Amino acid sequence: MTGVRKWMGERYKRYVEDYTRYARMRGFKTELNDWPYVRRSFLECWAQPGFHRFWHLWNPGIAYFVYRLYIRLGGRRRWALPTVASFVLCGLIHTLIVAPFFRRWSYSVIGAFACFGVLTVLSRYLDSTLRQDRWPVPVNVLVNVGLVIASFDVGFRIDRLLG
What per-residue confidence (pLDDT) applies to 6? Answer: 64
Counting residues of the chain whose pLDDT is more than 90, the rounded percentage is: 38
What per-residue confidence (pLDDT) applies to 25? Answer: 76
CA distance linking residue 87 with residue 22, whole number of Å: 18
The 3 state secondary structure assigned to 79-91 is: CHHHHHHHHHHHH
| Residue 46 in this model has a pLDDT that exceeds 80 | yes
What per-residue confidence (pLDDT) applies to 148? Answer: 96
DSSP 73: T
What per-residue confidence (pLDDT) applies to 82? Answer: 84
Calculate the average pLDDT of the chain: 83
Contact 58, 46 (CB under 8 A): no
Model confidence pLDDT, tens digit, residues 103-137? 888 999 999 999 999 999 999 899 999 999 999 99
| Residue 32 in this model has a pLDDT that exceeds 60 | no
CA distance linking residue 102 with residue 11, whole number of Å: 36
Confidence of residue 33 (pLDDT cuts 50, 70, 90): low
What per-residue confidence (pLDDT) applies to 37? Answer: 65
Of 78 and 91, the one with more pLDDT: 91
Of 12 and 99, the one with more pLDDT: 99
